[in-house]
Structures are given as structure tokens and as C-alpha cells.
Structure 1
């Protein structure tokens, strides 16, 4: 009887492992200890191991590249990551390949149940990038989110030609953060504006998003359809 009990226990253990009851090997719990930039963070895993993580399938403009200037919307991406992630408990979800050539963990990072990688794309702070097999599980859904951000002219999409949509990708090196601020200066909460104040739909859309988007719309640029896309009659 004792031998039969041992066999049953082993069978139960195998079932639990197969069902994932003993832990999910495809994810880890961690605390964000430092934000390096918009797409790279330092974390401490639950077992005390310290790691550098690189967000999968996204690329934010550079802020600390040794050979590049601070790029437009790079500081905003880093500030958003700092505000959202610093000191927070997060879940690191892995795809098929767990590390890159720099030994960084490649992750879909979730904070408070929200996919942070995806939120960067939604806010126009990152482009979909480095879509390399086998780590492509969320690529399709990310591309859909990017298309919407592009149509609405959010942040990186507000500067014509800034995002290089070629095989090597990246951002135009000549568009620096300070230069972008000069070219896209505005006061969203100043004098009332209408579509005739803008030279293009992208310019109007950028203004609309920075003024609070559909939730605020203090200038009532979104029409009666309330679809989040403004001044659709502009070129």
C-alpha cells in the first residue's frame, strides 16, 4: 500500500507540473529598481537576482546613446516609464527566446495588469521594432495599436518622416528633442483654436492629443462623431 501511495503521489506531481500549478516558467515577478530609458529597465527578481530587461517588440527614441543626440520624444518616453514603473511590482512575461546578445531579459512587462510595451505604442512614444523570430507572439496586436497612433499623429508620428519605416528602422538622427519642441510649440490650454489654425491634419491631431485627447478636448476639435480623429478635412 505504501508503494502504491508513492506512485500515486508521483503521478499527481506530474499532473500539477503539466498544468502549471507549481509556477509559470514563462513569467517572473520583479520590482523595477531603475529606469534606464523608455525601453530598458533594471529589476530585482523575487529570488533577489538583479537583471536588466529590454522590452520586446518596441523601440523608443534615444536619450543616452553614446553616438546620438537626445532624440525627439525620447525624454517623454523615459519620463513616462519612470513615472509608471519606478519602484513598482511588475510581471515579466517571456516569449520563446528569453535573452538577447547582451544577456538582457527580453520581456513583455505588465504593471497593475497593463501591458506596458503596448501602452508605449498607444501613446505614440515607441514604434513596433525588432520583430524577429521566434519572439513575435504579440507583433500583430502591436501593429494594430501602432496604426491607430499613427493615424492620430501621436507624438513620434506628429513629425513628418521622423519614424523611418524601412528595414533598418529607427528615427531620423537630425530630429533632436529641443528642435522638435521649437517646431511643435503650442499652448493647448491657451486661446481657443479651431481647424483653420492648423496647416495639416497631423499638426491638429498632435495638438489635440497634447491637450488631453478625447477625454478633455478643450478646443472641441473632435466633431460630432467623437472618433478621436480631428480636422479630417485638412491635408
Structure 2
């Protein structure tokens, strides 16, 4: 009987010891398990958060470098395309002239130069892509030139039109007056691609120069015209001091321009041919 009671006490003591030790082990395992399990999760979360922040910073820096942040773009609407690199826009409630930044297209309406090769193509291209469109203006450097025209990059339908002109060989990279410009490197690459593929202006050897565009037959034509028609180049259709004239009286813009200058333009515009923009170019809607 005594042996039986002794064995019973030993078993109870053993059971209690196992129970106490087991609880301690489980408690320790729970504490350690929580610590060891949560730590990697926490580290993974921090790594992902840091990675996301890094991407956001890179994106912001990229936008600053490329100038494509929304806050740098200002809305406008194209009211009229003057030529390949000049447009009229409604901006801040009034009509303004915008000269496309860093690009130069061949002339079509210069008061003292004839229509240059690929000038009409550049103008038609601009009308097709821009006329009547809602656009965004991006400024870079001085906002205006000496003629009080806005100097800007034009964004339309998600593309930068200045660069598009260069890529199609319809303009040269020019008028780099206040570097560095945000898009200069991209423009240079676009021009080089057009040049390598001999597109547009680059298909004519010697046509593009540092000063502009040189059409080798222009001087010869001018000399021949003077020889054949000595008075034709200076002939004015109407008496500048005669009755009032409007753009409908002339067949071409060049004809109207000669009359305008003979009548005292651009200093005065007694026949009101220059419209409201006072840019020295009259009857710009004429061919």
C-alpha cells in the first residue's frame, strides 16, 4: 500500500514537472516565434516601401529634367497657323503669336525672301497637326523674343510638335540663345536621325546652313528676273497714296507686302493691312 502511494506521488510530481516545463517552453517558443516571424515581414515591408519611394523620387527627378511636369505646361488653343514654326494661339484670354522654340522651318511668308523649298510642306504639316487644336505650352528660358512673340515648346495630343518637325526633316535645330535647354539633347538626336535618313531638308545637299536655308538657284533666279524685267521686282500694284486697299485687292501675300512697304510700312499702316498683331507681315492668309 505504501509502495502504491509512493508510486502515485512520483507520477503526480513527474506530471506536474512536465506540465511546468512544457508551458515554459511553449511560452518561449511563442515569444521567439513571434519575434522571428514578424521581423522578416517587417523588413520586407520596409524594403518595398523604400523601393517605392525611390521610384517616386526618380520619377520626379526625371520629370524635372525633361520638363514634362504638368505644372510646367500651360493650356492654349491654336487659332491660326502662320507657317511651319509660327502659330497664333488664344492664351490667357487673348491672341498671342508663338514662335516654336529651338526650331526653324524654311520661309513661306518672309517679307524679303522668296518661298523656300519645303517651306509649304512644313506649313501644311503644322496646319494638319495644330490648327484649331487644344495645346499645351512649355516655356524654357526667356518667355518672349524681341518681337514680343512667346517662345515655347508645343505639346499636342501627347507629343512635342517642335521635335516632330525635326524628326520629319521639316526644320533645323536653331536659335540656341540661352542654353542649357531641357530638350536640346533630344532635339539633336531627332535632327541627326532625319539627317542620316536624308529626310526633307536634308535631302538637298548644301541646303541647310548655320544661318538658315540656302537654295542655290535663288540668286540665279533673282539675277535673271532683274535682267528680263528690270521693273518687275519693285513694281507696286496700286498707288500707295491712292484709295484705301484691303487684302482682297491682291493676288499674293508678296504683292500685298510690297504695297504695304511702299505705303510706309511697317512704321505706319494707313491701309490697315497688318491686322491686329502688328508683326510686319500683311495679308498672311494670301498664298
Question: Do both proteins adopt the same fold according to a TM-score greater than 0.5, normalized to the shorter chain?
Answer: yes
Q: Could you tell me which of 77, 94, 104 is aligned with 1:31? A: 77
Contact 2:117 2:215 in 1 (8 A): no
For residues 122 and 175 of structure 1, do their structure 2 counterparts lie closer, same or farther at Cα, with a shift above 3 Å needed? Answer: farther
For 2:161, the equivalent position in structure 1 comes to 116
Q: Which has the higher helix share?
A: 2
Shift of 1:27: 2.8
CA deviation map 1:133-184 (0-9, x unaligned): 14622111101110110010001000110001x3xx20004456xx9xxxxx
Contact 1:69 1:173 in 2 (8 A): no
- For 1:130 and 1:138, how far apart are their aligned partners in 2? 13
C-alpha RMSD of the superposition: 1.7
Shift of 1:50: 1.4
- For 2:80 and 2:165, how far apart are their aligned partners in 1? 18
For 1:103, the equivalent position in structure 2 comes to 148
Which of these two proteins has the greater Rg computed from alpha carbons? Answer: 2
1:217-228 to structure 2, matched below 5 A, reads none
Shift of 1:89: 0.2
CA deviation map 1:81-126 (0-9, x unaligned): 0011000000000002111111111000000110000000000000
For 1:126, the equivalent position in structure 2 comes to 171
TM-score, with structure 1 as normaliser = 0.61
1:170 and 2:170 aligned: no
Contact 2:86 2:97 in 1 (8 A): yes
Moved over 2 A (4+): 173-176
Q: Could you tell me which of 82, 103, 106 is aligned with 1:61? A: 106
TM-score, with structure 2 as normaliser = 0.50
CA deviation map 1:59-82 (0-9, x unaligned): 000000111110000000000000
1:1-235 to structure 2, matched below 5 A, reads 24=71, 26-45=72-91, 47-134=92-179, 136-164=181-209, 166=210, 169-174=211-216
Higher relative contact order (Cα pairs below 8 Å, separated by 6+ residues): 1
Contact 1:59 1:128 in 2 (8 A): yes
**Partner-residue secondary structure (3-state), 1:64:** coil
CA deviation map 1:175-218 (0-9, x unaligned): 56xx9xxxxxxxxxxxxxxxxxxxxxxxxxxxxxxxxxxxxxxx
Alignment size in residue pairs: 150
Q: Which runs of 5+ in 2 are unaligned?
A: 1-69, 222-287
Contact 2:168 2:200 in 1 (8 A): yes
